[in-house]
Structure 1
Amino acid sequence: MDKYMVTVTEAAQTYLGDLLNKQDVEGMAVRMFVSQPGSKYAETCLAYCKPEDIVIDDEKMEFEALTIYLDSASLPYLKDAFVDFDKDRMGGQLTIKAPNAKVPNIAEDSPLSEKVNYLLVTEINPGLASHGGEVTLVEIDGATAVLRFGGGCQGCSAVSLTLKEGVEKKLKEMIPELTGVRDVTDHSVTDNAYYQ
C-alpha cells in the first residue's frame, strides 16, 4: 500500500529528479498544489521549491531522486492524484491526473462554499448541461449562495423556475445550513438562451 495520497511513478520520479539536478540551488524540491481548487478552472501544478519556500504545514513526500511538498490547503483536492512520465522520441510527456481537483471530497465540516460547489458540479450542472447551461457559485453571503447562470441558462425565460424549483430546492435539501440562493446573472443577454 502506497504511504502517500499522491502516486508518483518511478518514471516521473526520475524525470523530476533530473530536472532538479540541473538547478543551481542546493536542496531544491518540487511543490504540488491546486490553483482555483474545487472549481471548473482548477489546475494541478508542479513548481520548483527552494528551501526557503518550504511551508511547514505542507505534507512531505520523500523519494530516492527527489522530495515533493504537497500544499496543505490543496490536500483534499490532491487525494488520489497521479503523476507519470511517458518517454518518447521527442523527449516525453509529464502527466498529472487529479480526479478531486475540480470536485473535492467534502466532509461534514467542510466550508459552505465547498459543499455548494460540490453539489453544483456533481448534481446540478449535469442536468443543466442538457440545455447547454451551467451555474457557478460567485460567493457565499451569510448563509445564502450567490449564483451566476451561464450558457443556455443565461437569459432563458425559464430560469426563475430552474432557480427556485431546481437549484435552490436541491441545494437547501442537501445542505440544511444554506438558507437560500440569489441569482446575479445579467439575464438581458439572451444570445444562447435555451428558451427565448
Structure 2
Amino acid sequence: MAGILLTTAAQEYLGDLLSKQDTDGIGIRVFITQPGTPYAETCIAYCKPGEEKPEDRMIPLEPFNVWLDSVSEPFLEDAVVDYAVDRMGGQLTIKAPNAKVPMVNADSPLNERINYLLQTEINPGLASHGGEVKLIDVVEDGVAILQFGGGCQGCGMVDVTLKEGIEKTMVERIPEITAVRDVTDHTVKENAYY
C-alpha cells in the first residue's frame, strides 16, 4: 500500500470491527485534520458506501476498502497503522511521522523552507533542553532573524548554539541565507537550560 502501511494485526482487528457493523461494504477512511501543522491529528473513521469523496484514493484490502483523503495523502507517507494486544485488551495505533511536517521543496517560499528546517532538524535537537527557535523574519542580505524560547531563552550557551549549530546548518542548506541573528531577550532566565 503506497505511503501507508496497515499491519496484518491492524487489518484483522479493523476487519473484525467492520464485520460487526450492519452496513454491507463498509470500509475505513484515513485522513489528517490540519495536515502540515503542529496541530495535525491522524484519524480513522468508518466509511459507509457513498461516504467516500470522489477525490479519495481507494485501496482494496481483504475484506474491506481503505479510502485515503487526497489532501492528507502526502502527509500519510511512511504512516503505520498497527494493533497491539496488551493487558487491557488491545490498542490501535497510528504513527504518521509526516503528518505535522509541511510539504516543501526547492521551489517553496523561503519562509516555508526555513520553517521546515527548523521544525524537522533544529527544534528536535533543542527540545532535549526544553528549547525551541522560531523564524521572525528574513531581512536584506539574507539574514534570518530568529527568536529562542523555552530552555534556550537566557541560556549561557545560546551564542554557541546559534553560530555553531543553527547558522552553519541554515547557511549550508538554504542558499539564500547568509547569516542568522537572535532577537531574544536573554535577560529572562526563569526557564533557562544550563
TM-score of the aligned structures, taking structure 1 as reference length? 0.67
8 Å Cα contact 1:148-1:184 kept in structure 2: yes
Indicate the percent of aligned positions where both proteins have the same amino acid: 61
Match of 2:5 in 1: 7
Contact 1:38 1:118 in 2 (8 A): no
Structure 1 window deviating more from structure 2 (8-17 vs 167-176): it is 167-176
Q: 1:88 and 1:182 mapped to 2: Cα distance?
A: 49
Give 2:114's aligned residue. 116
Distance 1:52 1:68 in 2: 13
Which residue is equivalent to 2:28?
Answer: 30
The structure with the largest alpha-carbon Rg is: 2
Instruction: Determine the structure 2 residue equivalent to 1:21.
Output: 19
Preserved contact between residue 145 and residue 181 of structure 1 (Cα < 8 Å):
yes
Tell me, in whole angstroms, the C-alpha distance in 1 between the residues paired with 2:85 and 2:130. 39
Report what 2:55 is aligned to. 57
The 1:44/1:147 distance shift into structure 2, 3 A limit, reads: farther
In structure 2, the CA distance between the partners of 1:147 and 1:41, relative to structure 1 (3 Å rule), is farther
The question of whether the paired residues in 1 share the 8 Å contact of 2:137 and 2:145 is answered with yes
User: Which secondary structure does the structure 1 equivalent of 2:126 belong to?
Assistant: helix
How far is the alpha carbon of 1:63 from its aligned partner? 0.7
- Paired residue for 2:190? 191
Bigger drift between 72-81 and 101-110 goes to: 101-110
- Contact 1:33/1:71 (<8 A) preserved: yes
Q: Aligned partner of 1:151: which letter?
A: G
SS at match of 2:71: helix
> 1:171 is matched with which residue?
170
Q: For the structure 1 residues 71 and 116, does the alpha-carbon distance in structure 2 shift closer, same or farther, using more than 3 Å as the test? A: farther
Deviations 1:3-30 (A, max 9, x none): 4321212221122123233344454331
One of 73, 78, 91 as aligned partner of 2:76: 78
Q: How many aligned residue pairs are there?
A: 192
- The separation in 2 between residues aligned to 1:58 and 1:117, in whole angstroms, is 29
Deviates more, 1:8-17 or 1:127-136: 127-136
Which deviates the most, 62-71 or 127-136? 127-136
Give, in whole Å, the separation in 2 of the partners of 1:184 and 1:41: 26
- Could you tell me how far apart the structure 2 residues matched to 1:115 and 1:7 are? 28
List per-residue Cα deviations over 1:16-71 (Å, max 9, x = no partner): 12323334445433121234444555433212234454232222211122211222
Structure 1 residues 36-45 or 177-186, which shifts more? 177-186
Q: Residues 139 and 32 of structure 1: is their aligned pair in 2 closer, same or farther, counting only changes over 3 Å?
A: farther
CA contact (8 A) 2:25 2:64 kept: no
Q: 1:123 to 1:158 in 2, by over 3 A?
A: same
Shifted more, 184-193 versus 53-62: the winner is 184-193
Between 1:66-75 and 1:44-53, the stretch displaced more is 44-53
